[in-house]
Structure 1
Amino acid sequence: MWLLFLSVPLLPAVAMVSHRHRVTISALCGGVLSWVLGRGRGRGQGAACARSTHAFVFSECTHGKADSVLATFDLYAETHPSLSLGPQRGQVLDKVVRRVAPRLVLELGMHCGYGSIRMLRLLPPAGRLLTVEGDPLASELGEELLLVAGFKHHQFQVLTCSSVDAIASLRPHLGSEDGTCEGLDLVLMDHDPQRYLEDLVALDAEGLLRPSGCYILLVHRDQGPGASRALMEQITARNGRYALRTEENAVMELYYCVDG
């Protein structure tokens, strides 16, 4: 009771500060909540985020219009914690997809499908996306939003499993008509950052990256400014097949090439 009594004189000041800085406070709270959800995936919070995101996007977007679905994702993220890439990282992704025009794309970490939709709408007619999501609920809801955005199953395939299991069984999905493995043109890693290096090594060891050139995008969420550089040092220390092309909005772009 005495605490309440002492705090009463401070209420006007608190109210004034809250009013003046409501945008900053709101952004800070949103960032904290996003961090909590990201750290808590697999323990219930991620599932709650997937349900809430799906319900909002499904009900508010124009079905059959990919750009409307993306805009609705962004609208949701303005006031709710979200695991979507967001427009800034999304624009980096757009630039790379337009430049590379990939035929075979692997996405590790589909979440609710935001990144998948951004890539699918820019793929060439023969392009195909393989997207991996370990959370069965997020996988199901994300796949539904891909269909809501107007894409068909022949354009994409959702693999509901861990990145480790996906990579181990990926080769049959990359085959051409003559049975050879064509290799991936583009890989987007937006799952567990602790898995980035090991999964990249596994993709290389399995011969799943196109030898003549593959672009790899690594998304860093809630990482320190030196995290991507440290990862790059670990990658280049293993062999000379990787080169850092760009780093923008916490998205690092690598280029992989064996054939020189």
Structure 2
Amino acid sequence: MWLLAVSVPLLPAIVMASGRYRVKVAALCHRALAWALRLVRGKVCVRSTHAYVFTNCTHGRVDSVLETFDLYAETHPSLCISSRIGKLDEVVMRAAPSLVLELGMHCGYSSVRLLRLLPPHGRLLTVEVDPLAAELGEEIILVAGFKHSQFQVVTSSSAEAIPTLRPVLEADKGTGEGFGLVLMDHDPQQYLPDLLALEREELLSPSGCSLLLISRNRRAEELRDVLQHIRARPDRYCIKSDFQCMMERCGCALSD
């Protein structure tokens, strides 16, 4: 009874507050629901893609694995598997990196594309926060014929993984002083914090590092903050290419 007596005088304020914040609360709930749906669909996509590629490709042949990915995409449209990401090949061939960092593994499609273009002594380090995607993606890489000596899968968030990568670089003799190419294909909101962390940890090759940013939702605002950072430092970065078809942008880190 005392609670009711206290609450009644506050009722108008409560009503006003609920009205004022109703839109914000509804928007927050909508984003949470959308995130949950993307997570569920993502897991289903990874399982389905893995099963199709694993069953239908010729094991040990990288070209067969990529062709099977493409066949799957013909009947199961997916931005994770698209001929448009083939422009990644142009960046890799131009940069000619020995050590590559991939943030966001998905189903392993881009990982396989990257590995097939690296030199014999080259190595790929891929970071994936979803344990299922990391496990199945790693299996696809092995199915394509690559060995564990050529790549490493880190199951972790990018924010947690980046500060731990210095020992990995130091252990990789002959690959230079940093990553020659960084592919960001995870959460666009992490692009800027992760780039700042890579700079802070001095993980980008001082002789030049190609940075490839992918926005799969084709929304320019997703990349706004990180692009502003890149453009604000012309002494260190320059935009080498801008693939509008997939909102891909490549920034090349210049020597200090």
TM-score (norm: length of structure 1): 0.78
Structure 1 residues 40 and 71, CA gap change in structure 2 (3 angstroms): farther
How far 1:88 sits from its partner (Å)?
1.4
- 1:158-182 superposed Cα distances (whole Å, 9 cap, x missing partner): 0000001110111111115779972
2:178 to 152, 176, 183: 183
CA-based RMSD of the aligned residues comes to 2.3
CA distance in 1, matches of 2:52, 2:182: 28
2:249 to 221, 239, 252: 252
How far 1:43 sits from its partner (Å)?
3.5
Overall identity of the aligned pairs, in %: 58
How far 1:62 sits from its partner (Å)?
1.0
- Which runs of 5 or more structure 1 residues have no equivalent in the other structure? 1-37
Could you list the structure 1 runs, at least 4 aligned residues long, displaced by more than 3 angstroms after superposition.
Answer: 38-43, 176-181, 225-231
> Is 1:51 aligned with 2:47?
yes
Structure 1 residues 144 and 167, CA gap change in structure 2 (3 angstroms): same
2:169 corresponds to which residue? 174
CA distance in 1, matches of 2:227, 2:131: 31
How far 1:238 sits from its partner (Å)?
5.8
1:198 corresponds to which residue? 193
Q: Does structure 2 retain, via aligned residues, the 8 Å contact 1:83–1:111?
A: no
How far 1:242 sits from its partner (Å)?
1.3
1:211 corresponds to which residue? 206
The structure with the larger Rg is 2
- Which runs of 5 or more structure 2 residues have no equivalent in the other structure? 1-33
- 1:133-182 superposed Cα distances (whole Å, 9 cap, x missing partner): 10000000000000000000000000000001110111111115779972
CA distance in 1, matches of 2:94, 2:176: 23
CA distance in 1, matches of 2:144, 2:175: 32
CA distance in 1, matches of 2:172, 2:78: 40
Structure 1 residues 76 and 157, CA gap change in structure 2 (3 angstroms): same
Moved more, 199-208 or 42-51: 42-51
- 1:55-102 superposed Cα distances (whole Å, 9 cap, x missing partner): 001001111111111111111112214352411122x11111112221
CA distance in 1, matches of 2:132, 2:79: 14
> Is 1:223 aligned with 2:218?
yes
- 1:107-154 superposed Cα distances (whole Å, 9 cap, x missing partner): 000111100100101101110000011000000000000000000000
> Is 1:100 aligned with 2:89?
no
CA distance in 1, matches of 2:61, 2:173: 35
TM-score (norm: length of structure 2): 0.80
- Report the residue type matching 1:253 in the other structure: C
CA distance in 2, matches of 1:98, 1:237: 27
